[in-house]
Amino acid sequence: MYPKEMRKENQVTAKESILVVQNAVDLYKQKNGVLPIKNSDTNTPIYEKYVLDLKKMTSGPYLGQVPSVAFEKGGSFLFVLVNPDEKPEVKLMDLAAYQKAGDIQKQVDEFRKAKYGELPFGEPAGRDVYRLDFAKMGKKPEQVQSVYSRQYLGYIIDRDGRVGIDYAPEVMQAMERKGLKSADAHTDLRSLLVSESPYVPAKSFPYFWMDGEPKAAAD
């Protein structure tokens, strides 16, 4: 079954919340000339980089109240921006998926420290990216339920030991829905997920068309 945030009525609430926050962002930018975002560094992944500071908007005449789906209100999502320099667009990031990947990252870091730099690489899953081998860490395999669908997604790891969620099945299905049989080799295919849904892919690597399918690539 869907977790409560993914049921139809809650998806409607999420979309309505996005519209309200989008309007507030547009008004804020129009009046202040800047976007109401929190500070981030240059190494922050693109879909996690522009987190909205809802307090900046509620303290002015922009946002009446923080939406119930927001982390700040005890909800399961962070409000983020995509395309901040062109046409800023409000999206949601699933905190449960983000935090679970963070917990697995800690397990990998502990394993690497105990094994003098060894990483739990499994089968290749892209360019300098591998499936995460939980057995090597003495752990049971774990998955996370996708915010895009009912399916469960696995974990991957890059050559530097960074853990990510494997969105390849979701990207492939997004391509099929659009009738795409292939894609430009230089296009990050995560854009398909972002354009057709309210969500950004938390803890993700870029995806490119390789060997007849979408595959992750280390940054």
The 10s digit of each residue's pLDDT in 29-57 is 999 999 999 999 999 999 999 999 999 99
Structure tokens at 150: 């009912």
Residue 65: phi, psi to the nearest 5?
A: -155, 155
Structure tokens at 158: 């890059």
Which run of H or of E encompasses 207?
A: strand 207-210
In 3D, which of 169, 204, 175, 164 has the Cα closest to residue 82?
204
Write down the pLDDT at residue 11: 62
Structure tokens at 114: 């105990």
Write down the pLDDT at residue 4: 46
pLDDT in tens, 70-128: 999 999 999 999 999 999 999 999 999 999 999 999 999 999 999 999 999 999 999 99
**Contact in structure between 131 and 159 (CB atoms under 8 Å):** no
Write down the pLDDT at residue 2: 41
Write down the pLDDT at residue 12: 58
In 3D, which of 201, 155, 193 has the Cα closest to residue 173?
193
Structure tokens at 94: 């699933």
Question: What are the C-alpha distances in Å from 102 to residues 4, 99, 163, 165?
Answer: 22, 5, 8, 10
Task: Tell me how far apart the alpha carbons of residues 63 and 57 are, in angstroms, rounded to a whole number.
Answer: 5
Structure tokens at 5: 């945030």
Most confident stretch, 24-33, 60-69, 177-186: 24-33
Write down the pLDDT at residue 13: 82
Whole-structure pTM value:
0.91
What's the helix, strand, coil split of the chain in %, to 5?
Answer: 35, 20, 40
User: What's at 206, amino acid-wise?
Assistant: P
Write down the pLDDT at residue 9: 45
**Contact in structure between 148 and 190 (CB atoms under 8 Å):** no
Largest CA distance in the chain: 55
Write down the pLDDT at residue 10: 56
Structure tokens at 180: 């795409």
Write down the pLDDT at residue 219: 82
The rounded mean pLDDT for the chain is 93
Name the least confident of 8-17, 44-53, 99-108, 168-177.
8-17
Dihedral angle over CA of 42, 51, 11, 169, nearest 10 = 10
Look up residue 37 and give its DSSP letter: B
Write down the pLDDT at residue 150: 85
Kindly list the domain boundaries of the chain, sorted by start residue. 4-94, 96-217
